[in-house]
């Protein structure tokens, strides 16, 4: 079972590099030796994962040259350009639209599974779409949903920390008496019903955890075009203040959707060339935390002996490698089920549309964090 988990982790991570654009069509991926070191798995596991991705068309091999990213992702996105990534499930009963920023990786399948499990049991059909966190694609998704005469809509906002130019479509939903609910975040201009996490507190407990372990030189990595990241960063800063810890230059590294994980990791890597190195890192999510662990491995540093790492979302990635991530919990499937219950109640006019829920996060402590060794530089 452990071998299967490692195999899935390698395969999913390489696929994520391709789908996120970290590796472009025609670009060579890491060598077999590099992947073995990066993921801390056996050569057999790497060969099996890469072989399957070649068989599925994500990668291709050139004799004597290596393994390269194929055009599969590009071709599928071209085919799906209009309407953008919309998928219809079931054909009976009333129709609920679901728009997320992403649909096929990380925590999103669990959220969608929660939504789907409840709605299909209630006899509703679903129309799924994803925006890839792009406001123009969100506009296309909303136009698609309105054209399909949906009865209700569950939305994960796109770039929620910025002004959203698609507000008119949400106002049109209200005008047409179509209830909608936002999950993970919401547009402050609309103040709609929403189901979210207390991300500020999540950032706080993640940071305070390593502070209580004796760490002072702590770096925070946060995505800032989504409110989740902004709020987590606020919690990070509050933890310093409340524990009377001194701030230091460049203690926060920020990035946006356009930035690749590799760029963030490269900027972080510069800190480890200096004398007063960080001893703990608080990451925006588990995906980024794994990238950081792989980078540290490449520098010959150990987690948590040399550097403690905290992730966020307590995703499947948190336990996918030999280093189990300390991470902040995310309700995932529970959030999806609650969102589905709310939308059914609103469509059938069995409850108020003003209901909102804020989940309080908890820290799941594993072996990626440890007390600072007193003589640590």
Region 151-161: mean pLDDT is 95
What's the number of domains the chain is made of? 3
Same structural domain for residues 261 and 250?
A: yes
Closest to 227 (Cα-Cα) out of 85, 96, 358, 363: 358
Q: What is the 3-state secondary structure (H, E, C) of 179-201?
A: CEEEECCCCCCCCCCEEEECHHH
Same structural domain for residues 216 and 309?
A: yes
Whether 301 is in a domain gets the answer yes
Note the pLDDT of residue 92: 45
Same structural domain for residues 337 and 319?
A: no
15: domain CATH number?
Answer: 1.10.10.10
Whether 293 is in a domain gets the answer yes
3-state secondary structure of 339: helix
pTM summary value = 0.76
Domain that holds residue 141: 81-197+331-359
Whether 158 is in a domain gets the answer yes
Last residue of a domain, one of 313, 329, 345: 329
Note the pLDDT of residue 72: 55
Whether 375 is in a domain gets the answer no
Last residue of a domain, one of 41, 59, 77: 77
Tell me: pLDDT of 91 over 50. no
Region 41-58: mean pLDDT is 83
Whether 58 is in a domain gets the answer yes
Q: Phi first, then psi: give them for residue 313, nearest 5 degrees.
A: 110, -15
Same structural domain for residues 35 and 136?
A: no
Length of the chain: 377
Whether 189 is in a domain gets the answer yes
Same structural domain for residues 10 and 63?
A: yes
Same structural domain for residues 309 and 338?
A: no
The residue behind tokens 């890469």 is: 50
3-state secondary structure of 327: strand
Last residue of a domain, one of 54, 77, 100: 77
Region 172-187: mean pLDDT is 95
Note the pLDDT of residue 74: 42
Whether 364 is in a domain gets the answer no
Same structural domain for residues 97 and 10?
A: no
Same structural domain for residues 203 and 324?
A: yes
3-state secondary structure of 348: coil
Candidate from 261-275, 279-293, 324-338 with smallest mean pLDDT: 261-275
| Average of per-residue pLDDT values in the chain | 87
Contact 195/346 with Cβ under 8 angstroms? Answer: no
Contact 194/356 with Cβ under 8 angstroms? Answer: yes
Tell me: pLDDT of 280 over 90. yes
Same structural domain for residues 253 and 178?
A: no
* Helix pair angle (167-175, 135-147), 10° resolution: 20
Region 280-294: mean pLDDT is 95
Whether 371 is in a domain gets the answer no
- DSSP E strands, 157-255: 180-183, 194-197, 218-223, 252-255
Same structural domain for residues 207 and 325?
A: yes
Region 46-70: mean pLDDT is 80
Same structural domain for residues 189 and 87?
A: yes
d(CA 299, CA 297): 5
Contact 142/97 with Cβ under 8 angstroms? Answer: no
211: domain CATH number?
Answer: 3.40.50.2300
Same structural domain for residues 229 and 300?
A: yes
């Amino acid at each position: 079972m452990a071998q299967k988990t490692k195999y899935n982790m390698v395969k999913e991570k390489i696929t994520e590099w391709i789908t996120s654009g970290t590796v472009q069509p025609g670009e060579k991926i890491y060598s077999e030796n590099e992947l073995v070191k990066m993921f801390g798995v056996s050569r057999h596991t790497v060969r099996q994962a890469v072989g399957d991705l070649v068989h599925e068309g994500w990668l291709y091999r050139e004799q004597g040259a290596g393994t390269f990213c194929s055009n599969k992702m590009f071709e599928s996105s071209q085919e799906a350009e209009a309407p953008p990534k919309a998928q219809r499930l079931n054909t009976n009963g009333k129709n609920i639209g679901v728009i997320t920023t992403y649909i096929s990786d990380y925590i999103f399948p669990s959220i969608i599974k929660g939504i789907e499990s409840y709605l299909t049991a209630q006899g509703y059909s679903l129309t799924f779409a994803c925006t890839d966190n792009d406001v123009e694609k969100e506009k296309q998704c909303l136009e698609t949903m309105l054209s399909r005469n949906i009865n209700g809509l569950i939305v994960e906002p796109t770039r929620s920390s910025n002004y959203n130019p698609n507000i008119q479509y949400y106002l049109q939903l209200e005008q047409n008496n179509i209830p909608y609910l936002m999950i993970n975040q919401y547009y402050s201009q609309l103040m709609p019903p929403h189901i979210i996490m207390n991300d500020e507190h999540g950032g706080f407990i993640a940071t305070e955890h390593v502070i209580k372990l004796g760490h002072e030189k702590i770096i925070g990595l946060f995505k800032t075009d989504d409110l989740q990241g902004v709020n987590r960063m606020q919690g990070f800063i509050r933890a310093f203040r409340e524990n009377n810890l001194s701030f230091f230059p460049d203690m926060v590294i920020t990035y946006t959707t356009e930035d690749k994980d590799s760029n963030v990791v490269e900027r972080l890597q510069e800190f480890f060339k200096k004398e007063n190195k960080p001893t703990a890192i608080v990451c925006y999510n588990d995906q980024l935390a794994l990238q950081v662990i792989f980078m540290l491995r490449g520098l010959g540093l150990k987690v948590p002996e040399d550097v403690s790492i905290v992730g966020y979302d307590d995703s499947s990635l948190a336990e996918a490698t030999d280093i189990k991530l300390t991470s902040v919990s995310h309700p995932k499937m529970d959030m999806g089920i609650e969102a589905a219950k709310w939308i059914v109640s609103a469509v059938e006019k069995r409850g108020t549309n003003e209901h909102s829920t804020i989940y309080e996060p908890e820290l799941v402590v594993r072996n990626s964090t440890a007390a600072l060794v007193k003589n640590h530089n």
